[in-house]
Structure formats: structure tokens, C-alpha cells
């Protein structure tokens, strides 16, 4: 037997022993995990997403994982839902924990939603209803952080909580970020990107689980209930299908050709900015600032790059300036001008910020759907089996871009659609600014 094989065997034996001690012999875990749940509890990676379909035993799996190390002194775990009402519903996490732990030596503090165990270990239930609620935990320390229904959260909330994942030196308690979720909701795109697209590359593990993986549930009756849903939601909840989206008919992702490199000597290059009008803290799912770079050559349109982010005004300004410098003088820069005096002031401000570059502020007219029409026509050109006239240069932004366009106009966001429509419009006016534009 090779050294590599011995190492694998020892690793497997170690995991099995850990599972026996922390799960099978754990008096706080009153249910024996089903195979998919056991896979979730055994997974040694730091970041794991479980589930997909409804009824796969997601909440039980998160609670089991949180309880694995409560016999260890100073162990601290927390499980989040977006709102407190989500936590406190009948059958939800708090109610479930009371059913499991009520009448034991563990002490429940209903004021702060905290279980304390004889070892001094703790399990907290928290909520992050508003974006800024994440800062309530900026002095906390956890070895286990769980998110129930991850697609209900902002990516910024999830990523911030990594800063609270830490332990004392020489501690043998693993650091674990665990989540469970169905497809859909406001976080669908970023969760899919993080775990399905980027997952393996960055050591993020997705463990799919369906209704059939949870024999504790009356599957026949639950399927009858799910069959009352619309076809898209049913595919998301019953099949755990992350490709099922509530979308429109303006764009189809299969009409975009993905290329590895843009052709040389592009005829014209523009970067169009659609600035978010909503501050990041003002909404649970605010708009993005998007800067889309597009070029044209011989009747084909190339989306070269998309910068997409949320941030305060100074971050927006710094990012736009830096991106423009990286694009260089050859790229003409456009920005959608908001109506009213504030829009005029902003346009004047950016004309100074981007001094030395070709900058134009554009007053838009018509609905978003009307403005997207000419660009959509180029995307959907040609026969059903062929690509259209718009090509995408492969990059990390492509999946989020296609997800948004495919959902338009029924999706949660349309910032990338607006930026693409604006860039396309400027490429088709052949250097002649609209009467509604302001040249600086």
C-alpha cells in the first residue's frame, strides 16, 4: 500500500471516529442523521452548502452540525435566519431546538435566544434583517456559523461573518461556515456563483439533497403540496434546480457565444456606467453600480468586461476612476445621468474626476424595456440554433450577467441590462452624441 493510500485511509478513519464521537454518541443530537445529513456532518471543508430542494432535512442538518462540539468548553455556535419571525415560527429552528434540548441540562435564555451547555459552550440564534445588522456581531467569536435559507441573505452579510470565525491557538475545534438553502430568492445569483460555479476551485462544497433524501417526511403528501406551485418554483423546490429562473423572453442565455479572447483592432470601445441610486444600507436588496465595457467589429458586438458592485459614493467614485484609468484613453466613457439638478451636479463632478478621458453624461428616455430592445434584437438575431451578434469574453462576471439578462424584466435587478443597453446605444450612434446628452 502506497504512502498516499495510507494517508487517505487514515484520513477516512479519523473522519469516521470524529463522526462517532460528535454525532452518534452525542446526547444532544436526538435524531440519527440520514445519509445526506451524515455526509454534511462529516465534510471537513470550512465552507459547505447543503440542500437545494425543499424537504431535504436542511434545518435538522444545520442544528445537528451546531451541536457537534457543545461538549467542548468555550465552543460557540450561531445559526442565522434573515428575520426573527423566521426563527420563531412553529417547527422552525428555535422551536426545534426547544423540542430537542428542553428538559436537559442545557439552559435556554429566551431574551437573547441563547443555549448554554454544562461545558460552557453556547448556541445562539441570530437574525440579519437589515444590511447593517451584521455589525452587531463585530466583537463576537464563533467556531460554527450557520445560515438557514442562505439565498435570503445579502452576499455582503455572509462574507462579513467570516471575520467572526476564529478560535484560540491550539484549539482542536474546527472552524466551520455552514449554510442550507433552496434556489430562488434575492441571493440566488451570488449563492449559485459562489458554490456551483466557483465552488471546487476555492474549496467550497455543495452537498445536494432532495425530498427523497429525507425519509422522515411524508413525501407523498409534500409532493402533492409542491405540485400546486408554478412550474419554475416547483422545479426549484422539488428538484433543487438552480438553473430554473423566473424570467422574461427578451434574452436567452444560449444565444450568447462565449469566447476566450476578443479580436484585435476593435473598431470602437465604450464603457457605460449605471450608478446605483440606492445607498447600500437603504434597502434589503439595493441596486448595483455597473460599468459595462463593449466594443464592435464587423457587425458583431463584444462585451469585454463588467464591473458590478455595491458601495458608498466614495467607493463608487474611486472604482469608476480606477477602471477608467485601466481602460485607457481609447475607451469612451458614458454615464447615465439621473434627472434633476442632482444629476447635473453629478455629471459635472465626474467630468472633473475623469479629466483627460472622453466622458459623456447621457439623459435616458423611455422605459428600461424600450431601451433594451435594440440590444436584445442583436442578441436574438439569427436562427434559433445559432448564436446572435453579441459575444461575451469569458470572465468571472459572465454567469451573473447571463442570469440577470435571462430573468429580465422579471428579475430582482436590471442594472447590467441598463448598462448593456446604454453601451450598445452609444456604439450605434457612430460618435454622434444624442441631443439629450451633455458633453464635457
Residue 438 pLDDT more than 50? no
Whole-structure pTM value: 0.61
pLDDT of residue 325: 95
Match 458608498 to its residue by C-alpha cell: 312
For the chain, the structural domain boundaries read 3-239, 253-439
Contact residues for 378 (Cβ-Cβ < 8 A; gap 6+): 301, 388, 389, 390, 424
What gap in Å lies between CA 181 and CA 28, rounded to an integer?
24
Which cell goes with 279? Answer: 445607498
- Torsions phi, psi of 324, nearest 5? -65, -40
Q: Are strands 359-363 and 114-116 parallel, antiparallel or unpaired?
A: unpaired
pLDDT of residue 251: 87
What gap in Å lies between CA 350 and CA 431, rounded to an integer?
20
Q: Are 65 and 78 in contact (CB under 8 A)?
A: no
pLDDT of residue 12: 66
Going by CATH, does the domain composed of 253-439 fall within 3.30.420.280? yes
What is the per-residue pLDDT across 386-433, written as a single tens digit (0 to 9) for each? 899 999 999 999 988 998 888 787 777 899 999 999 999 999 975 444
Nearest partner of 300 among 333, 262, 254, judged by Cα: 262
Q: Where are the alpha helices (DSSP H) in 68-209?
A: 84-88, 93-101, 155-160, 188-191
What is the per-residue pLDDT across 224-274, written as a single tens digit (0 to 9) for each? 887 787 667 777 887 787 877 666 667 888 899 999 999 988 879 999 999
Residue 74 burial class via C-beta count within 10 angstroms: exposed 0-12, middle 13-18, buried 19 and up: middle
Side-chain-facing half-sphere of 305: CA atoms under 13 Å: 12
Residue 27 pLDDT more than 70? yes
- Torsions phi, psi of 424, nearest 5? -60, -45
The CATH number assigned to the domain with range 3-239 reads: 3.40.50.300
What is the per-residue pLDDT across 67-77, written as a single tens digit (0 to 9) for each? 999 999 999 99
Nearest partner of 295 among 389, 381, 216, judged by Cα: 389
Contact residues for 360 (Cβ-Cβ < 8 A; gap 6+): 332, 333, 334, 335, 426, 433, 437, 438, 439, 440
Which cell goes with 379? Answer: 442578441
Nearest partner of 369 among 251, 273, 244, 256, judged by Cα: 251
pLDDT of residue 309: 93
**CATH topology agreement for domains 3-239 and 253-439:** no
Amino acid at each position: 500500500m502506497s504512502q498516499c493510500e495510507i494517508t487517505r485511509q487514515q484520513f477516512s478513519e479519523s473522519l469516521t471516529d470524529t463522526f462517532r464521537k460528535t454525532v452518534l454518541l452525542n446526547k444532544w443530537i436526538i435524531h440519527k442523521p440520514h445519509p445526506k445529513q451524515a455526509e454534511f456532518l462529516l465534510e471537513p471543508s470550512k465552507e459547505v452548502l447543503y440542500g437545494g430542494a425543499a424537504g431535504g432535512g436542511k434545518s435538522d442538518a444545520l442544528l445537528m452540525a451546531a451541536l457537534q462540539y457543545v461538549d467542548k468548553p468555550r465552543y460557540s455556535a450561531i445559526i442565522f435566519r434573515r428575520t426573527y419571525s423566521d426563527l420563531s415560527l412553529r417547527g422552525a429552528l428555535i422551536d426545534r431546538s426547544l423540542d430537542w434540548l428542553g428538559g436537559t441540562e442545557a439552559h435556554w435564555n429566551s431574551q437573547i435566544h441563547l443555549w448554554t451547555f454544562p461545558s460552557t459552550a453556547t448556541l445562539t440564534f441570530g437574525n440579519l434583517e437589515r444590511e447593517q445588522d451584521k455589525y452587531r456581531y463585530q466583537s463576537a467569536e464563533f467556531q460554527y456559523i450557520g445560515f438557514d435559507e442562505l439565498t435570503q441573505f445579502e452576499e455582503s452579510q455572509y462574507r462579513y461573518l467570516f471575520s467572526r470565525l476564529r478560535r484560540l491557538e491550539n484549539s482542536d475545534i474546527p472552524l466551520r461556515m455552514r449554510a442550507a438553502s433552496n434556489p430562488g430568492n434575492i441571493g440566488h445569483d451570488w449563492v449559485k456563483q459562489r458554490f456551483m460555479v466557483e465552488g471546487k476551485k476555492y474549496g467550497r462544497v455543495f452537498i445536494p439533497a432532495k425530498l427523497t433524501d429525507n425519509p422522515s417526511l411524508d413525501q407523498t403528501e409534500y409532493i402533492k403540496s409542491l405540485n400546486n406551485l408554478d412550474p419554475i418554483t416547483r422545479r426549484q423546490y422539488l428538484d433543487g434546480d438552480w438553473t430554473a429562473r423566473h424570467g422574461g423572453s427578451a434574452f436567452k442565455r444560449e444565444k450568447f457565444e462565449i469566447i476566450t479572447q476578443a479580436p484585435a483592432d476593435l473598431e470602437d470601445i465604450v464603457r457605460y456606467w449605471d450608478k446605483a441610486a440606492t445607498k447600500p444600507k437603504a434597502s434589503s436588496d439595493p441596486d448595483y453600480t455597473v460599468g459595462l465595457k463593449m466594443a464592435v467589429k464587423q457587425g458583431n458586438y463584444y462585451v469585454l468586461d463588467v464591473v458590478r458592485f455595491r458601495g458608498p459614493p466614495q467607493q463608487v467614485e474611486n472604482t469608476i476612476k480606477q477602471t477608467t484609468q485601466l481602460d485607457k484613453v481609447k475607451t469612451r466613457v458614458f454615464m447615465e445621468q439621473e434627472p434633476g439638478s442632482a444629476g447635473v451636479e453629478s455629471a459635472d463632478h465626474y467630468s472633473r474626476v475623469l479629466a483627460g478621458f472622453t466622458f459623456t453624461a447621457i439623459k435616458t428616455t423611455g422605459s428600461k424595456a424600450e431601451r433594451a430592445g435594440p440590444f436584445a434584437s442583436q442578441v436574438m438575431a439569427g436562427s434559433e440554433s445559432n448564436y446572435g451578434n453579441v459575444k461575451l469574453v469569458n470572465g468571472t462576471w459572465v454567469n451573473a450577467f447571463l442570469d440577470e439578462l435571462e430573468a429580465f424584466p422579471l428579475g430582482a435587478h436590471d442594472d447590467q441590462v441598463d448598462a448593456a443597453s446604454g453601451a450598445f446605444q452609444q456604439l450605434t450612434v457612430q460618435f454622434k452624441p444624442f441631443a439629450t446628452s451633455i458633453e464635457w
